[in-house]
Amino acid sequence: MCQVRALPEQPTAVRRTRLVRGQLADWVPSACAVVAEHLLHRGIAPTGFPFARCHQLPDGAVEAEVGFPVAAPIPESGPVEPSTLPGGPAVAIWHTAPDEKIDLTYQAIDKWLASDDAIATGDSWEVYHDLPTCDYVGTRIEVVQPITFVSA
């Protein structure tokens, strides 16, 4: 079931790469580990669960951004960069099925958007409430989509 939220803008520490969407599940765990180690060595504690956000590129590839929310912007250093998750209204939905069925969760958001007179504003992201391991990204994933409501 979709839930509407008002989110604050959130500074993040991320690792970025360009890949095809099907490669994301293999890349997320190692990227999370790199960012976590980077933060640990600098004494920075994450303020939430790891996430992945993809920006669709014209050629069909995606720019993937994987990392953790942090309390304040970090300086750019090596493979880890500062970024932000946008603030404002958003709709969130839980995905608890196997990762390969996550497209069904995105379809549920699309149906909700169509029935609630709202539109997506920007790229969605996935929050991994089971910490990713080398083998998988987890089964408790929250999908967050920034939105705006259509005025009547």
Ordered domains of the chain (ranges, CATH)? 3-149 (3.20.80.10)
Give pLDDT tens digits along the chain (152 positions). Answer: 788 999 999 999 999 999 987 788 789 889 999 999 999 999 999 999 999 999 989 998 999 999 999 999 999 888 999 999 999 999 999 886 656 677 788 888 898 888 878 899 999 999 988 765 545 555 688 999 999 988 64
d(CA 28, CA 133): 9
What DSSP state is assigned to residue 87?
Answer: P
Please tell me the predicted confidence (pLDDT) of residue 152: 47
Q: For the whole model, what pTM was predicted?
A: 0.88
d(CA 13, CA 7): 18
In three-state form (DSSP H/G/I as H, E/B as E, the rest C), the secondary structure along 34-76 is: HHHHHHHHCCCCCCCCCEEEEEECCCCCEEEEEEEECCCCCCC
Please tell me the predicted confidence (pLDDT) of residue 9: 97
Please tell me the predicted confidence (pLDDT) of residue 138: 57
Instruction: For residue 122, give the 3-state DSSP assignment.
Output: coil
Please tell me the predicted confidence (pLDDT) of residue 100: 62
> Residue 138 contacts by C-beta under 8 Å, 6 or more apart in sequence?
99, 128, 129, 130, 131, 132
d(CA 19, CA 112): 29
